[in-house]
Structure 1
């Protein structure tokens, strides 16, 4: 079940969860997650952001429409990277990021979506 992120409070709760979980098992993406969240806020179409929930709380997967296309943002536990996938959680990986990714590359990836 997904919830729709219609306001800053919901995005804040999602960001808190992502950053808290990064402290425990995803430190390789903790910094870049902030840049990606900024890109989602910047380029995500209003009312298109959906956050996956698990046991009533936001999980590490988010959908957003950008330029009329749906993208999935998810943490890959095997590669320890945040991926942008085409349309679905099993869609083609279009971009992947970790803390070694320059922020300029994140901006460029979002601009191209």
Structure 2
């Protein structure tokens, strides 16, 4: 949330809903948070059922993206504070 305050206020609120989805659907012990220069980076990985997804902040679109398997994988969904929470639930159900 501190990083969102400084760089990405347009995703600060929706980030909490996305984290709720990761907790709800993610497999235990599957969450990995990437670090850069000793601080958390803008990416995390989680297995949801048996597939790996990357959750990453895109600086160009100013959205949080769900990507397929890798940090350069296909963008499956993207969200910002204008995204209805029901869309988050729907996206996580479909993973």
The TM-score normalised by the length of structure 2 is: 0.97
- Alpha-carbon RMSD across the aligned residues, in angstroms, is 0.7
Give, in whole Å, the separation in 1 of the partners of 2:16 and 2:32. Answer: 17
**How far is the alpha carbon of 1:57 from its aligned partner?**
2.6
Extract unaligned runs of 5+ from structure 2: none
Count of aligned positions: 95
**How far is the alpha carbon of 1:55 from its aligned partner?**
2.1
Residue 97 (str. 1) matches residue 91 (str. 2): no
Extract unaligned runs of 5+ from structure 1: 1-18
**How far is the alpha carbon of 1:56 from its aligned partner?**
2.3
**What are the equivalent positions in structure 2 for 1:1-113 lying under 5 Å apart?**
19-113=1-95
More helix by share: 1
